[in-house]
Structure 1
Amino acid sequence: MQKAWNVALWLLVAAVFASVLFADFLSLPFGGYASQRFILVGLLALVVSFSVVVLIYQHGWALSGRICPAALVAGGFILLALPFGETPYNWAEPVMYAVFFLGFVLTGSLPGSDKRRQYWVVVLVSVAAVTAAFYGGATITVYLFALSDQVANLSSFIPWGFVSIRYWSHIATWLIPLLPLAVLLGPFRSQRLWQFFIALGAALWWWVVFLSFSRGTMLGLALGVLIAVMLIGRPTLPWLKVFLRYLAYGVVAWLFLSLLVPSLLLDEVSMRTLKTDTSGRMPLFIEAWRMSLENFPFGMGPQSWLTHEVLTEDYWQSPKFGHPHNMYLMWAAEYGWLLIGALLILAGQAVRLFWKRRDEVRSTENHDLALPLAAFTASVSAALLHAGVSAVFMAPGSMLIGFLVLCVFWALIVPESRSFTFKRPKARALAAGFAGLLVSAPSFYWLNEVAEYYDAMESDLEFYYENVPAGKLPRFWFHGNFPRHPSQMP
């Protein structure tokens, strides 16, 4: 039975990575963005229902206290959306966030033993490293075609497979800190061919980061690695050495692929420059801040960023986006500062659990977890920082990869838990099944609303293209400006 679960775990993780990194190759039925959103909501509904059944069957209600902060966040999204229940497609987004935060805490509580946590780390890191390396190899193919067509600006074609450079950069923020683990853990870590394969993939990902000058990724990774090293200390050194080595390989790859080769083959070389301004984000931040104070502390409702009356002159005159490029201000604007308070409680719990695990690692009581703890701490910290300037928790690809990373991170920091022996196993199984039904039953309503939302958005496209002077603004869907302000609706 355990082997079957292990196979299912490998297949699930591989399917998620394939749907994100190779959406173009897979010809997904609704297009990459929409298909990833459908995969995300389906995965979240399935994982939460499954985790509830397993946890209650194995532990009863013993873990309920550990899950309370996540339940508070999930309840916050739902309760703060209740006053706006009559708004069209009101529930698609808040329920997604509710099950996202509840889901990674529930799923991260499943492994129980340290041996099982290590297995989860190996599965996620191995799949991430292999798919990232194959993505890097395919990028070289795109690179060669671009050079053969005398394309001077490579960033117009690389990174490929994403509707925006930003959405690729989210994935890079989650994954780059994890790649060194592939040669430090797992059955192939001592194989030279494996080490070369992973190093080449990591170098190519760093090259694309430099090629695209993804400032959010660069800053997030720098601070995330600094946080991990400062908090955990000496046990992180083997991971840090490999991380810095891969960074150096990336610099060499950038010098060779972006400067030397194009200068020999092309008449001119065009590169993106590292900007020092806010790229128009400041008016968005100020508008979201003003929104958060309009109905303090409850917010203006789900997706009100798309439908509200503009509050500031600067935002009125600036380019419009489907979100304010800051997840925390967006949540404060739409769900209020009460939700931010709930998120801070969950973050406080994570810090407390991390600190206990960090003390174990530093005292060498649990030294085997030092390297994965460092890598996943850097990854999660980088993503949380990146979310302050981009839609890390909005883009479906980022949410899919981020959900897996957060599940494993949570599994690494929670204490080891053992299954209880109950006197009435049938009653326990019945209670677990009933709880699973209670959780899964509303999922069908939610999934149905998501599907209806997609159909309505698709139907709106013709009117939108003919009457609304704006391009697509990715939000829940790629055509994310639906619903929008009533003055722009049919």
Structure 2
Amino acid sequence: MDRLCKGALWALTVMVFVSVLFADFFPLPLGAYASQRFLLAGLLALAVIISGALWMYRNGWIAVQRVWPAILVAASFLLLTLPFRNMPYAWVEPGMYAAFLFGFVLAGSVLAAWAKKYDGLVGVVYVGSIAAAFYGGATITVYLFALSDQVSNLSNFIPWGFVNIRYWSHIATWLIPLLPLAVLVGPLKTQRLWRFFVALGAALWWWIIFLSSSRGSMLGLAFGVLFVAVAIGRPAQPWLKIFLRYLAYGVLVWLLLSVFVPSLLLDEVTLRTLKTDSSGRMPLFIEAWQMSQVNFPFGLGPQSWLTHEILSEQYQRSSKFGHPHNMYLMWAAEYGWLLIAALLTLVGQAIRLFLLRRAEIRSGENTELGLPLAAFTASVAAASLHAGVSAVFMAPGSMLVGFLVLSVFWSLITPAALPTASGSPRKRLLASVLFAFLVCLPCAYWLKSIAEYHADMVQDEVFYYENVPAGTLPRFWFHGNYPRHSDQMP
């Protein structure tokens, strides 16, 4: 059973990273974006059903007390959607957010209680490191082809495999803090070839961050590292030293590949500059804030960002996007500040559990947890800040990788030894089966709604590209501006 569970964890992790980073290598009939969204939906449904059933079997109905903040957040998304249930595809997005936030808490709780020590951690870190190194190697191939074609602006081709630079930067924010951990834990940590392999991958990913001027990733990673350095302190120093070493390697690779080599081979070298403005985000933030005040504290309904009457002059004059580039303001605008209050209860529980584990580490009671906790805390903290300026919790690739990272993070902050429910195995099995049955029905309805939404979106594409001069606005789908304001609908 242990081998089966471990194999399933590794297979799932491989599937996620391959689908996110190497989708271009596979003939996907729906395209990478839609395929990743369907994969995400299936993964979330399975995670909630299977993890919830296992959690109920181990703990019985007392399990509710241990995950009540996650239940509150999931219920808030659904309950706050009820007044808008007659809107088109009303349950699709709130169902995704509810399953995502509830699912990673359940999955992390099950990992902490059932999996062998750090099985999930090593799988995510090792597979992520291998995927990062291979992606970096493939990027060198793209780089050489670009130079041979005399391309002066490399950022037009790198990063590759994503419809937008931002979606790659989401993955970088989640992944880069985990790479130093690959040479600190696991069976290969002392192997020189493995350490070189991971360092090369990390250096190449830092190079791409500098090349593409991914400010959201830079700010997020800086915040994550600073938070870990202050909150964990000395036990995190080995991780921090390797993180900074990889950053230095990235700077050297950037100087070599983006400055020195192009200067020798090209007549002109174009480098993306690091902008100091908001890149047009401020009008979006103002619009989302004003939306959140219209029906305070309940919001204007799911996907109302796409369908609402524009409120602010700044947004009327600015470029339009499928979301306001701020997950928290978008949730406040569409689901209301009640949802944000519920979300803060989950954040508060995470902080409380984190502080308990930190106390164990500093007291010497659980010192081996220090490095994994530092890496995964930095990743989660970085992504949480990045979500304030980008769609980190909406883009399917980011949500797939983020679900794995958050699940392992939750398993690390969850107490290692929770008491098993005192009820008989038969009663706990009954509770488990009942939970799975109750959750299967809404999950099946949700997945059916997603399939219908996709079919209708595809049918709308022709009209949209011919009649709506707004370009592609990715949201739930790549053609995400559907449904939209009534004056733009056929």
Give TM-score, length-normalised by structure 2.
0.98
1:294-335 deviation per Cα after TM superposition (whole angstroms, max 9, x unaligned): 000000000000000000111001000000000000000000
Instruction: Report deviation, 1:119.
Output: 1.9
- Alpha-carbon contact 1:40-1:399 (below 8 Å) kept: yes
AA in 2 matched with 1:465: Y
Distance (whole Å) between structure 1 residues aligned to residue 283 and residue 468 of structure 2: 21
- Alpha-carbon contact 1:114-1:416 (below 8 Å) kept: no
Residue 284 (structure 2) aligns with = 284
Distance (whole Å) between structure 1 residues aligned to residue 9 and residue 183 of structure 2: 21
Instruction: Report deviation, 1:484.
Output: 0.0
1:108-165 deviation per Cα after TM superposition (whole angstroms, max 9, x unaligned): 1012359834221111100100001000000000000100111100000000000000
Distance (whole Å) between structure 1 residues aligned to residue 267 and residue 92 of structure 2: 50
Instruction: Report deviation, 1:58.
Output: 1.3
Residue 225 (structure 1) aligns with = 225
- Alpha-carbon contact 2:2-2:116 (below 8 Å) kept: no
Distance (whole Å) between structure 1 residues aligned to residue 177 and residue 261 of structure 2: 28
Residue 255 (structure 1) aligns with = 255
Distance (whole Å) between structure 1 residues aligned to residue 114 and residue 226 of structure 2: 26
Instruction: Report deviation, 1:423.
Output: 5.9
AA in 2 matched with 1:101: L
1:344 aligns with 2:344: yes
Instruction: Report deviation, 1:78.
Output: 0.2
Instruction: Report deviation, 1:5.
Output: 1.2
- Alpha-carbon contact 2:322-2:475 (below 8 Å) kept: yes
Alpha carbons of structure 1 residues 117 and 441: separation in structure 2 relative to 1, 3 Å: farther
- Alpha-carbon contact 1:117-1:411 (below 8 Å) kept: no
1:367-419 deviation per Cα after TM superposition (whole angstroms, max 9, x unaligned): 00100100111100000000000000010000000011000001000112346
Higher mean Cα deviation, 22-31 or 99-108? 22-31
Distance (whole Å) between structure 1 residues aligned to residue 36 and residue 235 of structure 2: 37
Alpha carbons of structure 1 residues 465 and 81: separation in structure 2 relative to 1, 3 Å: same
1:153 aligns with 2:165: no
AA in 2 matched with 1:47: A
Distance (whole Å) between structure 2 residues aligned to residue 392 and residue 135 of structure 1: 20
1:332 aligns with 2:332: yes
AA in 2 matched with 1:320: K
Residue 95 (structure 1) aligns with = 95
Q: How does 1:50-449 map to 2 (within 5 A)?
A: 50-112=50-112, 116-418=116-418, 420=420, 424-449=424-449
AA in 2 matched with 1:317: R
Residue 41 (structure 1) aligns with = 41
Distance (whole Å) between structure 2 residues aligned to residue 103 and residue 75 of structure 1: 13
Distance (whole Å) between structure 2 residues aligned to residue 89 and residue 474 of structure 1: 16
Residue 27 (structure 1) aligns with = 27
SS of the residue corresponding to residue 111 of structure 2 reads coil
Instruction: Report deviation, 1:188.
Output: 0.5
AA in 2 matched with 1:427: K
1:23-46 deviation per Cα after TM superposition (whole angstroms, max 9, x unaligned): 101222311101000000000000
- Alpha-carbon contact 1:178-1:375 (below 8 Å) kept: yes
- Alpha-carbon contact 1:332-1:339 (below 8 Å) kept: yes
Alpha carbons of structure 1 residues 115 and 81: separation in structure 2 relative to 1, 3 Å: closer
AA in 2 matched with 1:477: W
Distance (whole Å) between structure 1 residues aligned to residue 117 and residue 29 of structure 2: 34
1:247-284 deviation per Cα after TM superposition (whole angstroms, max 9, x unaligned): 00000000000001000011110111000000000000
- Alpha-carbon contact 2:224-2:380 (below 8 Å) kept: yes
Distance (whole Å) between structure 2 residues aligned to residue 484 and residue 117 of structure 1: 48
AA in 1 matched with 2:166: R
Distance (whole Å) between structure 2 residues aligned to residue 363 and residue 424 of structure 1: 37
- Alpha-carbon contact 2:59-2:428 (below 8 Å) kept: no
1:186-239 deviation per Cα after TM superposition (whole angstroms, max 9, x unaligned): 000100000010000000000000000100000110011000110000000100
Distance (whole Å) between structure 2 residues aligned to residue 97 and residue 350 of structure 1: 18
AA in 1 matched with 2:286: I
1:433-467 deviation per Cα after TM superposition (whole angstroms, max 9, x unaligned): 12111111111110000000000000001111111
- Alpha-carbon contact 1:178-1:379 (below 8 Å) kept: yes
Instruction: Report deviation, 1:61.
Output: 2.2
Distance (whole Å) between structure 1 residues aligned to residue 23 and residue 208 of structure 2: 18
Distance (whole Å) between structure 1 residues aligned to residue 428 and residue 352 of structure 2: 31
Instruction: Report deviation, 1:428.
Output: 2.4
Alpha carbons of structure 1 residues 419 and 109: separation in structure 2 relative to 1, 3 Å: same
SS of the residue corresponding to residue 297 of structure 2 reads coil
Distance (whole Å) between structure 1 residues aligned to residue 94 and residue 203 of structure 2: 38
Alpha carbons of structure 1 residues 298 and 113: separation in structure 2 relative to 1, 3 Å: closer
Distance (whole Å) between structure 1 residues aligned to residue 423 and residue 343 of structure 2: 38
Instruction: Report deviation, 1:353.
Output: 0.6
SS of the residue corresponding to residue 18 of structure 2 reads helix
Distance (whole Å) between structure 2 residues aligned to residue 297 and residue 391 of structure 1: 22
Instruction: Report deviation, 1:420.
Output: 2.8
- Alpha-carbon contact 1:117-1:408 (below 8 Å) kept: no
Fraction of identical pairs, as percent: 67
AA in 1 matched with 2:366: N
Distance (whole Å) between structure 2 residues aligned to residue 120 and residue 467 of structure 1: 48
- Alpha-carbon contact 1:207-1:250 (below 8 Å) kept: yes
Residue 14 (structure 1) aligns with = 14
Instruction: Report deviation, 1:421.
Output: 6.6
Give TM-score, length-normalised by structure 1.
0.98
AA in 1 matched with 2:476: F
Distance (whole Å) between structure 2 residues aligned to residue 420 and residue 144 of structure 1: 57
Distance (whole Å) between structure 2 residues aligned to residue 198 and residue 112 of structure 1: 27
AA in 1 matched with 2:261: V
Distance (whole Å) between structure 2 residues aligned to residue 45 and residue 402 of structure 1: 16
- Alpha-carbon contact 1:117-1:412 (below 8 Å) kept: no
Instruction: Report deviation, 1:422.
Output: 5.2
SS of the residue corresponding to residue 158 of structure 1 reads coil
SS of the residue corresponding to residue 250 of structure 2 reads helix
AA in 2 matched with 1:226: L
Moved segments of 4+, more than 4 Å = none
Instruction: Report deviation, 1:430.
Output: 2.5
Alpha carbons of structure 1 residues 279 and 439: separation in structure 2 relative to 1, 3 Å: same
1:28-87 deviation per Cα after TM superposition (whole angstroms, max 9, x unaligned): 231110100000000000010001110111111233212100110000100011111111
